[in-house]
């Protein structure tokens, strides 16, 4: 390696050496996760390259957007450069184990809503060390480009989105649209087109890592994963103001084998939300602040079928959120939420630390319906901290017709942040048991299992 890297040193700018070192160190750390095991670019193997080509040659497999014409002054539209760099990286059939698409620091790249499409011939490391921003608000968004999403990754197998950079969704002008809740004149909500872009979307993709980045102020959800398999989110820092509408941190749907670890998410809506068709999800060491907490749901809308199972939420901290851990379903629908473990969660001034709400309804007067998404096999263990006394710290509002079953509580200790303890947790049609005394005491569970007749008639258990 030394020889080739040194010769690069003499021929090229510092950047290229960094690139070479970066590729090396990345290869060292990630070898075990890579599918392909092609030759290292910095290897001592003699290369046939003509030295005359050298000034143009970065280590093969390294694609710096500024070499593709990106300006990075925050004003010029750099979309074409990113697309060209993507196309080159994606179709790179050199000897690279993977391609690195690089957005360097010291630049702010303005890019339009764009779809980065696979499958690629190699794995992609999309490394953002600079800043990336979309057009500033709905007025600047080109009329002929969809407002549903900004950066979309589609049909990718094997990609890491990472870097020490910053992705700023510039959501302010979207949040202030008069169609957003109470943003109309005198606090009204006006009708009208209200679509706002999701900042980053992965769709039909697998073997994904997203790590280290700072993502802020998305017009809508910050991340959304649909129909993805094997997703690892690590060390993200997501922030948006408390009152920014629909700015969920990470939403997953029809996605399985998900790890979301060691991240900080302070925003205006759900910290993490888990939609239909998700299973084998592990959420660990997340700090959630001033949004709506970690939610499963909402499920069963428009009588849909939803299956969610094997979800773990562990070692998380909730600060001044409206919910801690919530399961929400609409009336109607079918399917089940099962096998959910909440373990070692800390709450600070949380409005509803534990809540199951099977009557979720955004408008007035949702009709009573007799079918429901079953909620079963839910464990709450070691949940401690303080709650806001405006609502009971535990709320199990289950369906009239299909009760919640097998809810287990152990080592629960929830105290009022200020004021008097709310002595009555709320239960409706909830079957469960206590493995240890709880604070406050819960005496409203029905014991045992619901009558077999109910389970046999109404339940589609996925």
Ligand X SMILES: *[C@@H]1O[C@H](CO)[C@@H](O)[C@H](O)[C@H]1NC(C)=O
Q: Could you confirm whether 292 is annotated as catalytic?
A: yes
CA 232 to chain centre: 10
* 3 state DSSP class of 143: coil
Residue 461 interacts with ligand X (CB under 6 A): yes or no = no
Terminal-residue alpha carbon distance, the chain: 54
Beta-sheet strands, E only, within 290-403: 294-299, 305-319, 323-329, 334-350, 352-357, 374-387, 394-397
Number of residues that bind ligand X (CB under 6 A): 28
* 3 state DSSP class of 15: helix
Q: How far is the CB of 293 from ligand X (least distance, A)?
A: 16
Based on CB atoms, which residue is closest to ligand X, 37 or 367? Answer: 367
Residue 138 interacts with ligand X (CB under 6 A): yes or no = no
Rg, Å, the chain Cα set: 25
Of positions 54, 145, 434, 454, contacts ligand X by CB under 6 A: 145
Residue 80 interacts with ligand X (CB under 6 A): yes or no = no
Residue 304 interacts with ligand X (CB under 6 A): yes or no = no
> What is the total residue count of the chain?
462
Based on CB atoms, which residue is closest to ligand X, 20 or 113? Answer: 113
Of positions 9, 13, 25, 35, contacts ligand X by CB under 6 A: 35
Residue 322 interacts with ligand X (CB under 6 A): yes or no = no
DSSP for residue 446 = B
**Region from 37-45, 59-67, 243-251, 364-372 binding ligand X, contact rule CB under 6 A:** 364-372
Which listed residue (251, 292, 309, 395) is catalytic?
Answer: 292
- To the nearest 10°, report the CA torsion of 235, 237, 238, 240: 160
Residue 262 interacts with ligand X (CB under 6 A): yes or no = yes
Would you put residue 58 in left (φ > 0), alpha (ψ -120 to 50) or beta? Answer: beta
Q: How far is the CB of 51 from ligand X (least distance, A)?
A: 38
Of positions 186, 364, 423, 452, contacts ligand X by CB under 6 A: 186
Measured CA to CA, the distance from residue 241 to residue 261 in angstroms comes to 22
Based on CB atoms, which residue is closest to ligand X, 68 or 141? Answer: 141
* 3 state DSSP class of 98: strand
Q: How far is the CB of 145 from ligand X (least distance, A)?
A: 6
Contact 56, 31 (CB under 8 A): no
- Please return the burial class of 56, using the count of CB atoms within 10 Å of its CB with bins 0-12, 13-18 and 19+: exposed
Residue 178 interacts with ligand X (CB under 6 A): yes or no = no
Tell me the angle at which helices 14-30 and 2-11 cross, rounded to the nearest 10 degrees.
Answer: 150
- Within 223-252, the residues that bind ligand X by CB under 6 A are 229-230
Residue 406 interacts with ligand X (CB under 6 A): yes or no = yes
Residue 44 interacts with ligand X (CB under 6 A): yes or no = no
- Within 147-176, the residues that bind ligand X by CB under 6 A are 157
What are the structure tokens assigned to 180, written together? 């957003």
Residue 119: asked if its preceding bond is cis (omega within 30°), the reply is yes
Residue 401 interacts with ligand X (CB under 6 A): yes or no = no
Measured CA to CA, the distance from residue 40 to residue 125 in angstroms comes to 15
Q: Could you confirm whether 29 is annotated as catalytic?
A: no
Of positions 99, 220, 255, 263, contacts ligand X by CB under 6 A: 263
Site map (CB under 6 A) of ligand X, residues 96-135, x = contact = ----------------------------------------
Max alpha carbon distance in the chain (Å)?
81
Of positions 60, 254, 285, 382, contacts ligand X by CB under 6 A: 285
Which residues are marked as active site?
269, 292
- Chain residues binding ligand X by CB under 6 A are 35, 142, 144-145, 157, 185-186, 206-207, 229-230, 262-264, 280-282, 285, 287, 310, 312, 339, 365, 367-368, 377, 379, 406
């Amino acid at each position: 390696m030394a020889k080739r890297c040194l010769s690069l040193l003499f021929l090229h700018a510092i950047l290229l050496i960094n690139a070479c070192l970066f590729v090396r160190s990345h290869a060292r750390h990630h070898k075990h996760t890579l599918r392909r095991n092609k030759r290292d670019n910095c290897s001592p193997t003699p290369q046939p390259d003509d030295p005359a080509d050298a000034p143009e040659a970065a280590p093969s497999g390294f694609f710096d957007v500024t070499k593709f014409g990106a300006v990075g002054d925050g004003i010029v539209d750099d979309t074409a450069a990113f697309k060209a760099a993507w196309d080159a990286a994606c179709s790179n059939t050199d000897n690279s184990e993977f391609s690195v698409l690089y957005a360097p620091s010291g630049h702010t790249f303005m890019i339009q809503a764009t779809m980065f499409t696979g499958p690629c011939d190699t794995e992609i490391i999309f490394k953002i060390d600079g800043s990336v921003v979309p057009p500033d608000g709905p007025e600047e968004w080109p009329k002929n480009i969809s407002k549903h999403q900004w950066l979309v990754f589609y049909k990718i197998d094997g990609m890491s989105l990472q870097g020490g950079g910053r992705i700023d969704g510039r959501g302010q002008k979207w949040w202030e649209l008069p169609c957003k809740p109470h943003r109309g004149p005198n606090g009204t909500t006006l009708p009208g087109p209200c679509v706002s872009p999701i900042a980053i979307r992965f769709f039909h993709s697998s073997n994904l890592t997203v790590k280290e980045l700072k993502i802020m102020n998305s017009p809508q959800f910050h991340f959304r994963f649909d129909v993805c398999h094997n997703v690892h989110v690590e060390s993200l820092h997501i922030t948006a103001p408390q009152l920014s509408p629909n700015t969920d941190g990470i939403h997953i749907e029809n996605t399985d084998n998900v790890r979301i670890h060691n991240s900080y998410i302070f925003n205006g809506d759900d910290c993490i939300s888990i939609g239909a068709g998700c299973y084998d999800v592990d959420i660990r060491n997340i700090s959630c602040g001033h949004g709506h907490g970690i939610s499963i749901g909402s499920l069963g809308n428009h009588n849909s079928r939803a299956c969610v199972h094997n979800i773990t939420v562990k070692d998380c901290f909730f600060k001044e959120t409206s919910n801690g851990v919530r399961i929400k379903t609409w009336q109607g629908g079918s399917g089940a939420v099962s096998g959910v473990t909440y373990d070692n969660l800390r709450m600070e001034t949380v409005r509803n630390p534990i809540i199951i709400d099977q009557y979720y309804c955004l408008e007035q007067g949702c009709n009573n319906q007799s079918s429901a998404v079953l909620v079963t096999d839910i464990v709450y263990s070691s949940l401690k901290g303080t709650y806001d006394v405006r609502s009971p710290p535990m709320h199990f509002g289950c369906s009239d017709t299909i009760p919640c079953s097998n809810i287990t509580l152990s080592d629960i200790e929830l105290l009022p942040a200020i004021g008097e303890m709310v002595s009555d947790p709320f239960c409706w049609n909830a079957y469960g048991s206590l493995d240890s005394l709880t604070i406050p005491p819960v005496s409203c569970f029905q014991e045992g299992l619901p009558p077999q007749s109910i389970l046999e008639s109404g339940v589609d258990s996925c």
